[in-house]
Structure 1
Amino acid sequence: MTSNNHSQNRALQQDARAWSEFTGINYTAALRQMQKPLAQGILGERVSARQLIATLEDHPLIGGTGDDFVLGESGFYADNSWSFDGENDYIELALITEALRMFSPLAKTETPEVGSYTLKHTVEALLTDTPAAYVSNGRLIWAAAALGLPIAEYDGGSSLNLLIGVPDNEHDYLFKMVRSGQTRPQGHHFRPPGYEHLQAALARCAAGEPAGDPWVRPAPVVEEPATFHAWLLAQADRDEPIGDFATDYAEGIRTSAHRIAQTPDELVLLLNELTHSPEAYDAARAAIGEWLGTMEPSPGIRTMRISSHREDVGGYGAGSGDMERLEYRCPCGYGRIVEEHDNIPGFREHSHRIDCGQCREEWRFLEGRSVRDWALEPVL
């Protein structure tokens, strides 16, 4: 046995003794919980039972002394104390901890906004096929405190519920993903970083397999101020069509109703996928034109390729070649941009056209670009 395995087994044994004494169950039952695969740490190190117990005693908000706990099964200053079944209590707390670990850390300057009672229902739905299919309000708060998340009372106090420091937008995304009757998010910019890894690990454990490789938390994404997305958000306070469109776009981002468009090309693709009014499309086109006008030279926009075809031809005495046709979706989404190349020695021709009446009036090819390197700009 390696020294590392010895240390791990010793830690499990120490945890089991502490958990046995704390909950009143026998040592063997406690050790059996410590050894379960679901309790070995999925998004981080295994949560220590001794740390969980110490949290109820030492935490600045929920800590108590001796048996006089501030936190109970129903929440903060609950009348009912803890009710342990001796089979899954530690595993439940370990899984709740994993669910909380998947969120992005809240900045120290931010005030917790997500209520523990709402969050506990979301975590229940996430863990519905695990021993933590039911999560009490108190255990959710307990796990959050043990993990070191920011916790605060509601203004005025006198509530069983506390505010938990997980990002509100990430919780809203998770709520819509796991709670029945909710419209699933169409944009995934607020997906908690550990969500997919945790889901995959839980599925493997349910199949009797190891949880898998350790999770590495991704580095925070720093928003580039020069992106089209950032510029468009900044237009939301304008009292005219572009401002109205930017406000609607920002609301769709906030609610995860659609994804982020970092470029005008991505906004055009997004509009092709979403239901929108002619006025919204006109405002978006005007916004793209204004944005492109700030750049020299203008990069224009490219649309999505939808088909390509190449046909070999024998040529006319100068050798064989091919004829190539590529089709792209036009900006409005209902027509085509056609790019054609006659790659035949002696008869080389290259052309492109907007095969859509509406877009021929509202868009034009940038000058000075080759046929293969075409780009469009709005006609304003």
Structure 2
Amino acid sequence: MTSNNHAQNRGLQKDARAWADFTGTTYNAALRQMGSPLAQGLLGERVSARRLIAALNDHELIGSRGGDPVLGENGFFSEAPWHFNGEIDFIELALITDMLRMFTPISDATTPEVNSYSLKHTAEGFLSPHCSYVSNGRLIWAAAALGLRIADPDGDGPNLLIGVSEREHDYVRRMVGPRQTQPHADHYRPVGYADLQTALAQAAAGKLITGRWIRPTLVVEAAPFHDWLILQAGRNDVVGDLARDYSAGVRDSDHRIARTPDELLAIFHEVSHSPGAYDAVVSTIAEWMRTVPSSAPIRTEPIGGVAHEHEGWGAGAGTVERYEYNNNAGSGMARSDTEAGSLGPLSGPQPRSRGLPPPRGGENRTSDLGRRPGETDRWQDRHRASGRPHEAAIRIPGTERTARDRHRGGM
């Protein structure tokens, strides 16, 4: 046995004795829980039973500090005593801790926003069937032992506010909660979401997690068009109307982030919208191009093409090529005919740049970008917080990095 394994076994034994004394169970029963694959630490180090116990006494908010307990099974200031069955109570706390680890912790300068009672239901949905019930008190307990920021919103209990990303929690809640509309974009997916799902399945099968999970490094990914568009949300015109709808869609993960005008056009084709939305998109992109003359041109999407040989019109034989492009107005296609003449065939389709069809006109100046299917005269029911800064996590494809860009707007 290596010295490292010996130290780990000694740590398990100390935890088992402490847990047995705290819960009134036997040492062997506690040791079995400590050695469970589900308690091995799925996202990070193995959860320490001694640290959990210490949090109930020493924590600045939920610690008893040698007096009467202030945290119970039902939450803060709950008089309901803790219930321990001696079989899976520690395992459940370890799983709750790992579930909380997948979220991005908020900074010390940020006020916690996620209600513990809502978060406990999210934990139940994510961890089921391995932990189908999570009490409010145990969720708070695990968060305190993990070192997350915790705040008491009104001083009465039993619910507290937990310091994890509110946007990420909303994403997971909608993914696992019953009767929820699942997100259509992943920019708010927690960085540990997929890794925890994989590790949970492996541990449930009795396997050991060989590689230790390390939270990915956050890097900055430039998104100047997105930043500019968010700042237009306060305007009282068609561009501001589109910006507000776009901002709400990003916040609610109804669509992805448009880092370029091309991506905004792609979103336009992916979501439901009113006839006036296209005019708003054209006006917005045109203003962006006037504001940033060096911006990349809009590229219409090629969707097909043919080529055939021709004897020529006196200048020699050559190839005539015809390419078809997606019409961004959503009503057909655009064609481009080119002649290669005696110079031979062209190398490929030539993208049409800065060539958006003009706005179609009309009196409807409302963009209505992102209506849910079946809606006609009703906006999406979106919560729009005040214009405080917040973060959107942009996952960079093919890497383990996460980029964050700060923006303001009606989101």
**TM-score category by the smaller chain?**
0.7 to 0.9
By how many angstroms is 1:349 displaced?
Answer: 5.7
**Residue of structure 1 in register with 2:407 after alignment:** none
**Residue of structure 2 in register with 1:355 after alignment:** none
Change (3 A) 1:32 1:348: same
1:103 paired to 2:81: no
**Residue of structure 2 in register with 1:24 after alignment:** 24
* Alignment equivalent of 2:230, drawn from 210, 233, 245: 233
**Residue of structure 1 in register with 2:400 after alignment:** none
TM-score by length of 2: 0.80
Residue 339 of structure 1 contacts residue 351 of structure 1 at CA under 8 Å; is this kept in 2?
no
- Mapped to 1, the partners of 2:272 and 2:266 lie a distance apart of 12
- 1:229-268 matches, cutoff 5 A: 229-268=226-265
1:348 paired to 2:344: yes
1:206 paired to 2:204: yes
Change (3 A) 1:89 1:298: closer
Question: Structure 2 counterpart of 1:265, which letter?
Answer: D
* Alignment equivalent of 1:336, drawn from 325, 333, 338: 333
| 1:334-379 deviations in Å (ceiling 9; x for gaps) | 43344566668x3636599xxxxxxxxxxxxxxxxxx625412444
Question: Which runs of 5 or more structure 1 residues have no equivalent in the other structure?
Answer: 353-370
* Alignment equivalent of 1:162, drawn from 160, 168, 191: 160
Question: Structure 2 counterpart of 1:62, which letter?
Answer: I
1:280 paired to 2:258: no
| 1:299-347 deviations in Å (ceiling 9; x for gaps) | 2211334446678x7999xxx9987665442212343344566668x36
Identity rate of aligned residues, in percent? 53
By how many angstroms is 1:220 displaced?
Answer: 2.5
Greater relative contact order (Cα < 8 A, sep 6+): 2
1:190 paired to 2:188: yes
Residue 300 of structure 2 contacts residue 351 of structure 2 at CA under 8 Å; is this kept in 1?
no
TM-score by length of 1: 0.86
By how many angstroms is 1:240 displaced?
Answer: 0.6
Residue 20 of structure 1 contacts residue 26 of structure 1 at CA under 8 Å; is this kept in 2?
yes
**Residue of structure 1 in register with 2:384 after alignment:** none
Change (3 A) 1:210 1:325: farther
- Mapped to 2, the partners of 1:277 and 1:21 lie a distance apart of 65
Change (3 A) 1:376 1:58: same
Residue 269 of structure 1 contacts residue 304 of structure 1 at CA under 8 Å; is this kept in 2?
no
Question: Structure 2 counterpart of 1:19, which letter?
Answer: W
Question: Structure 2 counterpart of 1:96, which letter?
Answer: I
Question: Structure 1 counterpart of 2:186, which letter?
Answer: H
**Residue of structure 1 in register with 2:218 after alignment:** 220
1:301 paired to 2:279: no
Structure 1 range deviating more: 276-285 or 50-59? 276-285
| 1:223-246 deviations in Å (ceiling 9; x for gaps) | 63x611110000000111100110
| 1:270-292 deviations in Å (ceiling 9; x for gaps) | 10111111222111110101111
Is the partner of 2:119 in helix, strand or coil?
A: helix
- Mapped to 1, the partners of 2:8 and 2:91 lie a distance apart of 17
- Mapped to 1, the partners of 2:4 and 2:329 lie a distance apart of 62
Structure 1 range deviating more: 170-179 or 301-310? 301-310
Change (3 A) 1:13 1:222: same
Change (3 A) 1:170 1:308: farther
Change (3 A) 1:342 1:87: farther
Structure 1 range deviating more: 321-330 or 229-238? 321-330
**Residue of structure 2 in register with 1:10 after alignment:** 10
Residue 318 of structure 2 contacts residue 343 of structure 2 at CA under 8 Å; is this kept in 1?
no
By how many angstroms is 1:68 displaced?
Answer: 2.9
Question: Structure 2 counterpart of 1:162, which letter?
Answer: L
By how many angstroms is 1:44 displaced?
Answer: 1.0
Change (3 A) 1:115 1:285: same
Residue 151 of structure 1 contacts residue 162 of structure 1 at CA under 8 Å; is this kept in 2?
yes
By how many angstroms is 1:189 displaced?
Answer: 1.0
Question: Structure 2 counterpart of 1:37, which letter?
Answer: P
Indicate the RMSD between aligned Cα atoms, in angstroms: 2.7
Residue 340 of structure 1 contacts residue 351 of structure 1 at CA under 8 Å; is this kept in 2?
no
| 1:19-56 deviations in Å (ceiling 9; x for gaps) | 11111111111111111111111111111000000000
- Mapped to 1, the partners of 2:4 and 2:197 lie a distance apart of 28
- Mapped to 1, the partners of 2:198 and 2:307 lie a distance apart of 42
Change (3 A) 1:213 1:324: farther
1:120 paired to 2:120: yes
1:42 paired to 2:39: no
**Residue of structure 1 in register with 2:73 after alignment:** 73
Question: Structure 2 counterpart of 1:282, which letter?
Answer: D
**Residue of structure 2 in register with 1:364 after alignment:** none
Question: Structure 2 counterpart of 1:53, which letter?
Answer: I
- 1:139-158 matches, cutoff 5 A: 139-155=138-154, 157-158=155-156
Change (3 A) 1:306 1:276: same
Residue 265 of structure 2 contacts residue 328 of structure 2 at CA under 8 Å; is this kept in 1?
yes
**Residue of structure 1 in register with 2:379 after alignment:** none
Is the partner of 1:376 in helix, strand or coil?
A: coil
- Mapped to 1, the partners of 2:54 and 2:172 lie a distance apart of 30
Change (3 A) 1:86 1:315: farther
- Mapped to 2, the partners of 1:115 and 1:297 lie a distance apart of 45
Is the partner of 1:293 in helix, strand or coil?
A: helix
- 1:56-67 matches, cutoff 5 A: 56-65=56-65
Is the partner of 1:203 in helix, strand or coil?
A: helix
Count of residues in Structure 1 that have an aligned counterpart in Structure 2: 356
By how many angstroms is 1:260 displaced?
Answer: 0.7
Change (3 A) 1:200 1:377: same
